[in-house]
């Protein structure tokens, strides 16, 4: 059997094994996950549809925006896929236990690289399709397009997925092989690449004096529009191809499809060639790299001062978790990318002239920004906070056998998560309201809501992480995508919507003059009580349930420990 065929057979067997594992799960659990996933998709679809209807209010400009939004949406997804491809390719190519197994079997380096690239693209595709489906459904619904539109989009999405995930794979292959070992030179180079990328994106924006008034307004409101709609941009090909096929322009549609497929195949070919030449050396370098590195015995020595502020065991766990986090580039790079993109956007709000918009618009943007930061918080809470107890894994015995009690272990996890997320999210919203120049009341409400979201996301994620603790699982992705992980993100998103909407709607109604001062004050007080009660419930209850679950799992009598 040729080696590549053996890999396909293995993948088939693994799929069969996964199916067996799924069949062995409780029906209720599968039903619950499916129902929540469908509900989430439906809500997302409704939100997108409402956004399209909102843009209708702007007449011709709105229509232009909707047309271009499709290309912009795919450009955004493409960027997300590239970043996702970078991260997943690093773990599949250089962090996977399967690689040493494959290296001593008769597989060529190019086969291993392509196999792992496909695997990485597969991992990245999950979130991609989860977002694509509700967006295109809402778009088709709003534009009254034929259901074929959804089918064409899915067909076009496959080469698009491989194309952009491939950019990530290529970048990581070259970086691991060629990036200098010296942290100073390496960080300098990475900084330079970042600066070049940002400069490139800014240069891609249109010069204002060459545009018509309408175009000026659209491009200044929606960054990246010109890049997305550029004829050489794959996001333009996919947007144009799908709409052409839906409207019956088959030849034009197929032309764009061929452009996407050939580009994806070319990317695959380049990955195969680059893999053949660099993967083995890159893998050797990544395996030997950390062992060869002269490392300081203690990272962030200042963390020892935590003992003066906190009980010794809690300080020890927090310091351990911080050091572990910074030692894992896959972990911190995701947080940096998510929050970095938001920070970049917030710091440039004035560049898009958002601060000159009418009050009702700025009020809406403030709460949309709170929504965006909260969505990132929910996703990071599920990605990093939820699995942290499970990731103690087989080392958990050490904590259990130490005098650190369960409440203190959970307190350490919760405190660290809250301190980190609240600092970043409150700072981001403070930047956002400052850039928009909104009033004191709206600023205070936005900051209070984001602080509450940080608290609840950490409470939910730490608590549910304890309820569904899985000490056998060493793969964070598997922990995150488990039943508990899915429930956690759904509850986080649900909570987030439940607390942001009342404030967003109230301030919007006030700004458009639909609410009198008295009613507004009373409604704001009611919304604040609602925020307080819901936050308390979303924080305290999961932590208590989590604690009870931990005691059930680890049967040391809690009586005296508490």
Partner 1 sequence: MIELDNLCKTYGALRALDNLSLTIPAGELFCFLGPNGAGKTTTIKILTGLVRATSGRALVDGTDIQHDPIAVKRQIGYIPDTPYLYERLTVTEFFHFYGELFDIPDPRIDAELERNFTRFGLLEHRGALVKELSHGLRQRLIYATTFLHNPKVMLIDEPFVGLDPYTIRLIKDLLRAHTRAGGTILLTTHILAIAEDIADRIGIINRGRLVALGTLAELRREHDGASLEDLFLKLTRPDGV
**Interface with partner 1 by CB under 8 A: which residues?**
290-291, 294-299, 304, 307, 311-313, 315-317, 319-320, 323-324, 327-328, 393-395, 397-405, 554-557, 560-561
Which of residues 297 and 513 has its CB atom nearest to partner 1 in the complex? Answer: 297
Work out how close the CB of 384 gets to partner 1 at its nearest, in angstroms, rounded to a whole number.
14
Which of residues 184 and 292 has its CB atom nearest to partner 1 in the complex? Answer: 292
Which of residues 302 and 517 has its CB atom nearest to partner 1 in the complex? Answer: 302
Work out how close the CB of 283 gets to partner 1 at its nearest, in angstroms, rounded to a whole number.
17
Three-state secondary structure call for residue 311 = coil
Work out how close the CB of 303 gets to partner 1 at its nearest, in angstroms, rounded to a whole number.
9
Token pair, residue 306, equals 């935590």
Distance CA 426, CA 448 (A): 9
Helices (H), 395-439: 396-400, 406-436
Per the document, the length of the chain is: 562
Other Cβ atoms less than 10 A from the Cβ of 79: the count is 17
Work out how close the CB of 398 gets to partner 1 at its nearest, in angstroms, rounded to a whole number.
7
- Burial (CB < 10 A; 0-12, 13-18, 19+), residue 534, is middle
Work out how close the CB of 284 gets to partner 1 at its nearest, in angstroms, rounded to a whole number.
16
Work out how close the CB of 326 gets to partner 1 at its nearest, in angstroms, rounded to a whole number.
9
Which of residues 395 and 514 has its CB atom nearest to partner 1 in the complex? Answer: 395
Which of residues 93 and 404 has its CB atom nearest to partner 1 in the complex? Answer: 404
Work out how close the CB of 236 gets to partner 1 at its nearest, in angstroms, rounded to a whole number.
43
Distance CA 6, CA 276 (A): 19
Token pair, residue 229, equals 């709609």
Place of tokens 């891609």: 204
Distance CA 496, CA 490 (A): 10
The contacts of residue 400 (CB under 8 Å, 6+ apart) are 554, 556
Query: Residue 548: CA atoms inside 13 Å, Cβ hemisphere, count?
Result: 6
Which of residues 41 and 470 has its CB atom nearest to partner 1 in the complex? Answer: 470
Which of residues 151 and 554 has its CB atom nearest to partner 1 in the complex? Answer: 554
Which of residues 529 and 561 has its CB atom nearest to partner 1 in the complex? Answer: 561
Place of tokens 């972990």: 331
Three-state secondary structure call for residue 107 = coil
Distance CA 354, CA 197 (A): 23
Which of residues 402 and 522 has its CB atom nearest to partner 1 in the complex? Answer: 402
* CB 77 within 8 Å of CB 90: no
Work out how close the CB of 289 gets to partner 1 at its nearest, in angstroms, rounded to a whole number.
11
3-state secondary structure 15-61: HHHHHHHHHHCCHHHHHHHHHHHHHHHHHHHHHHHHHHHHHHCCCHH
Query: Residue 24: CA atoms inside 13 Å, Cβ hemisphere, count?
Result: 6
Work out how close the CB of 278 gets to partner 1 at its nearest, in angstroms, rounded to a whole number.
24
């Amino acid at each position: 059997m040729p080696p590549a065929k053996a890999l396909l057979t293995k993948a088939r067997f693994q799929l069969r094994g996964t199916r067996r594992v799924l069949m062995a799960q409780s029906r209720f659990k599968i039903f619950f996950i499916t129902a929540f996933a469908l509900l989430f998709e439906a809500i997302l679809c409704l939100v997108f549809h409402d956004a399209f209807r909102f843009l209708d209010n702007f007449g011709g400009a709105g229509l232009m925006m909707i047309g271009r939004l499709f290309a912009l949406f795919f450009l955004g997804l493409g960027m997300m896929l590239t970043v996702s491809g970078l991260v997943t390719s690093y773990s599949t190519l250089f962090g996977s236990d399967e690689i040493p197994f494959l290296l001593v079997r008769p597989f060529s380096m190019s086969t291993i690289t392509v196999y792992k690239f496909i695997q990485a693209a597969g991992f990245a595709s999950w979130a991609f399709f989860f977002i694509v489906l509700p967006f295109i459904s809402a778009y088709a619904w709003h534009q009254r397009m034929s259901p074929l539109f959804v089918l064409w989009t899915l067909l076009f999405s496959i080469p698009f997925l491989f194309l952009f995930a491939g950019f990530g794979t290529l970048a990581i292959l070259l970086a691991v092989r060629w990036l200098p070992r010296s942290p100073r030179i390496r960080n300098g180079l990475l900084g330079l690449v970042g600066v070049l990328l940002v400069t490139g994106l800014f240069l891609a924006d249109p010069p204002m004096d060459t545009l018509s008034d309408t175009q000026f307004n659209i491009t200044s409101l929606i960054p990246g529009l010109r890049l997305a709609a550029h004829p050489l941009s794959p996001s333009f090909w996919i947007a144009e191809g799908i709409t052409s096929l839906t409207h019956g322009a088959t030849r034009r549609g197929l032309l764009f499809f061929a452009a996407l497929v050939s580009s994806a195949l070319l990317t695959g070919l380049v990955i195969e060639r680059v893999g053949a030449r660099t993967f083995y050396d890159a893998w050797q370098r990544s395996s030997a790299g950390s062992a060869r590195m002269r490392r300081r015995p203690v990272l962030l020595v200042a963390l020892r001062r935590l003992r003066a502020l906190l009980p010794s065991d809690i300080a020890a766990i927090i310091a351990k978790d911080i050091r572990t986090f910074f030692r894992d580039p896959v972990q911190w790079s995701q947080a940096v990318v998510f929050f970095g993109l938001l920070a970049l956007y917030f710091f440039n709000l004035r560049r898009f002239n958002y601060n000159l918009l009418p009050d009702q618009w700025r009020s809406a943007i403030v709460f949309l920004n709170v929504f965006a930061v909260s969505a990132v918080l929910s996703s990071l809470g599920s990605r990093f906070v939820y699995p942290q107890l499970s990731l103690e894994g087989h080392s958990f015995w050490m904590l259990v056998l130490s005098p650190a009690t369960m409440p203190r272990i959970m307190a350490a996890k919760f405190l660290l998560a809250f301190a980190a997320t609240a600092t970043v999210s409150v700072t981001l919203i403070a930047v956002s309201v400052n850039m928009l120049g909104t009033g004191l009341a709206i600023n205070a409400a936005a900051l209070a809501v984001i602080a509450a979201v940080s608290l609840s996301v950490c409470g939910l994620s730490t608590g549910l992480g304890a309820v569904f603790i899985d000490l056998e699982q060493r793969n964070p992705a598997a922990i995150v995508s488990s039943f508990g992980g899915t429930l956690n993100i759904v509850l986080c998103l649900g909570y987030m919507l439940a607390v942001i909407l009342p404030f967003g709607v109230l301030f919007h109604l006030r700004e458009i003059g639909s609410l009198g001062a008295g009613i507004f004050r009373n409604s704001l007080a009611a919304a604040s009580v609602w925020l307080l009660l819901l936050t308390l419930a979303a924080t305290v209850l999961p932590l208590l349930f989590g604690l009870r679950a931990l005691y059930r799992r680890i049967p040391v009598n809690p009586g005296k420990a508490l």
